[in-house]
Structure 1
């Protein structure tokens, strides 16, 4: 019997959690793709994003068997340098993968790299894009310099698109073998069920925002745009965990100044199992993000058949030509004009756009050799 290589994955939050968004689905689908080739072990926290209590009925700090892989849910007491050091020193792990650059697991792993001598595969998940780096840069810069000067020879980078590959090589141009080792392997999203009916009333628009509420996602920008909007018939529902309470309070203040003709509601957090049904109730997905690595929520909107209004800071480009929505610069005028255009779409045109949105998702899923590219990453 051939023994499979052992892959150890660190991710801050994982199933059954769902509040941290796309990375959970990425790693879930990554495991499914790689299980035929690797023995997989996952280390994560014992609670969901922003939760203060652990999951019910899950034993912490021990290896559990789940769906053909091993997983450890770490309690806060287990999230120490010593505990993580003991985990990575297991001689049996062939590959160690961290699903973030600035997550606590990654910071601890890299901080002890000079002691362990281990090599790590790091997926920055958009954290090196310019828009993301600008947020709390004063905290990130010293750590990045430490990596540049001390640890870069112990890292292989996982880029999920060409923009991220360029960002990594821009920040870490050289290693012990010349160019920094970067493997391009596409993100692994979940394709949702396409809705069966796509109807829209001309002169009105129902928008849905689904994302963590942080400055990076641009909800404040959207509030300022809607303050300038005078047309009637706009509805905006906001879904997502409140990651930054101070920022959310700023957004609430701005939304309170929006005209009465525009209805804005905060709807809480939608469980991932319900997201397909939730998305299907709206006309457009909207996200004026300041930078995305992949944009799982955007992809899920496409897969349901929901056209999108997003910034031009993602990999999803030329959407108007594809009739799947709009990717537009973060200026008030561009967004005001596009919202007006979206409102005037009639049912016939909207039905075409809905199918085009689904085609974007289908084309992505059909064009990628996921298993082949990820085996190259873990080799």
Structure 2
């Protein structure tokens, strides 16, 4: 299994999603090997050494540069020679193409997870390079099996690789944290990378037009790492322009118990993104019983059907109305939302009870690959 960023690195949802998947498979008795880079790791992690962890055998490679992953590729070649299935995470990381070519040379079954990189919004970033790479990938698409986390991502894959592209649709699951003791506090929460794709500015605009929010005790906490310095500066400027300085705080990235407490104590998590292939923060919030408002650019319609939150446009008026609904909601109705949120997380997104989906998918890929003529 290849990962450009891998737990305990915290550079977006895939860092954790790949870890939880590997851990669930390891707990189910499978031999899992992960080759990851040293990107965004704490200094305590040993590099260029095979480590036996709860998610299998892992090596964090120290490369000359993140985009020059020489050791990542070399250790990948060594690992995949004995692998039954090669799983590549990320389409556009430089090592991914090398991994796929090496897997084809070894005639290994190859699963490829885009992790949201094929959404129209994501493809706007460095579009020329991505078009070039996609053209190269199409040359051997008949030998590939893609993994999608949602119906929308399946559609994106087939848009770029053909309607006959082989896709397994498996939503992200995770190791759910136990609910912590909640201390209800009057704040709304955004959790995630500070990047333009997250549309945090849309949330600020919506709240600036809400008399209910402006005249209440409620504030907004925007927690997460800076993934785009220009966008982070823009957000701070936008807060000042909208006269929200007394209402908005940026605590930076939060982890562990502090993160779970932040979810639990919040009135609401808001994910206003322009695009998400999944959105692990939604599950994390639901697992603490906190309802979620997610944009219709995310695959979270289930929030509406299970009445655990709202699924609305990230335009100013719909977003403001959804947030206002939860600020004004009577305690009895709000308690029901919290109960349903917790139930949804436990039943649908616990990695230990859903590992069979991965086992079946890998077995299907392995059997089909045996029948391919190279």
User: TM bucket by the smaller chain?
Assistant: 0.7 to 0.9
Aligned residue in 1 for 2:20: 29
Given candidates 129, 151, 165, the residue that maps to 1:180 is: 165
Task: Assess, with a 3 A threshold, how the Cα gap between structure 1 residues 250 and 116 changes in structure 2: closer, same or farther.
Answer: farther
Deviation at 1:123, TM superposition (A): 0.8
Given candidates 140, 148, 163, the residue that maps to 1:159 is: 148
**5+ residue gaps, structure 1:** 1-8, 49-53
Aligned residue in 2 for 1:38: 30
Aligned residue in 2 for 1:326: 310
**5+ residue gaps, structure 2:** 364-374
Q: TM-score, normalised by structure 2?
A: 0.85
Task: Assess, with a 3 A threshold, how the Cα gap between structure 1 residues 345 and 199 changes in structure 2: closer, same or farther.
Answer: farther
Aligned with 1:266: secondary structure? strand
Q: Which moved more, 1:60-69 or 1:26-35?
A: 60-69
Q: Residues of 1 paired with 2:243 and 2:315: CA distance?
A: 20
Given candidates 71, 77, 88, the residue that maps to 2:58 is: 71
Aligned with 2:297: secondary structure? coil
Q: Which moved more, 1:114-123 or 1:334-343?
A: 114-123
Contact 1:110 1:151 in 2 (8 A): no
Q: Residues of 2 paired with 1:345 and 1:110: CA distance?
A: 51
Q: Residues of 1 paired with 2:340 and 2:45: CA distance?
A: 42
Aligned with 1:128: secondary structure? coil
Q: Residues of 1 paired with 2:306 and 2:294: CA distance?
A: 14
Task: Assess, with a 3 A threshold, how the Cα gap between structure 1 residues 372 and 249 changes in structure 2: closer, same or farther.
Answer: same
Q: Residues of 2 paired with 1:343 and 1:192: CA distance?
A: 26
Deviation at 1:10, TM superposition (A): 1.0
Q: Residues of 1 paired with 2:256 and 2:130: CA distance?
A: 30
Aligned with 2:87: secondary structure? strand
Provide, for residues 313-363 of structure 1, a one-character-per-residue CA deviation record: whole Å limited to 9, x for no partner: 222215345332211012111112222222211222211111121122123
Contact 2:114 2:147 in 1 (8 A): yes
Aligned residue in 1 for 2:370: none
Provide, for residues 163-218 of structure 1, a one-character-per-residue CA deviation record: whole Å limited to 9, x for no partner: 222221222116xxxx2221222312232223445757xxxx51011001111111
Aligned residue in 2 for 1:137: 127
Q: Which moved more, 1:212-221 or 1:57-66?
A: 57-66
Q: Residues of 1 paired with 2:129 and 2:294: CA distance?
A: 28
Following superposition of structure 1 onto structure 2, how do residues 1-379 of structure 1 map, counting pairs within 5 Å? 9-17=1-9, 19-35=10-26, 36-48=28-40, 55-67=42-54, 69-77=56-64, 80=68, 83-90=71-78, 91-110=81-100, 119-148=109-138, 150-173=139-162, 179-197=164-182, 199=184, 205-230=186-211, 231-233=214-216, 234-260=218-244, 263-317=247-301, 319-320=303-304, 322-365=306-349, 370-379=354-363
Deviation at 1:60, TM superposition (A): 1.7
Q: Which moved more, 1:55-64 or 1:35-44?
A: 55-64
Deviation at 1:73, TM superposition (A): 1.0
Q: Which moved more, 1:189-198 or 1:165-174?
A: 189-198
Task: Assess, with a 3 A threshold, how the Cα gap between structure 1 residues 199 and 349 changes in structure 2: closer, same or farther.
Answer: farther
Contact 1:199 1:350 in 2 (8 A): no
Q: Residues of 1 paired with 2:135 and 2:39: CA distance?
A: 31
Q: Residues of 2 paired with 1:327 and 1:235: CA distance?
A: 21
Q: Residues of 1 paired with 2:55 and 2:190: CA distance?
A: 35
Considering fraction of residues, name the structure with more helix: 2
Q: Residues of 2 paired with 1:312 and 1:126: CA distance?
A: 15
**Segments of 4+ in structure 1 off by > 4 A?**
78-82, 110-119, 195-200, 366-369
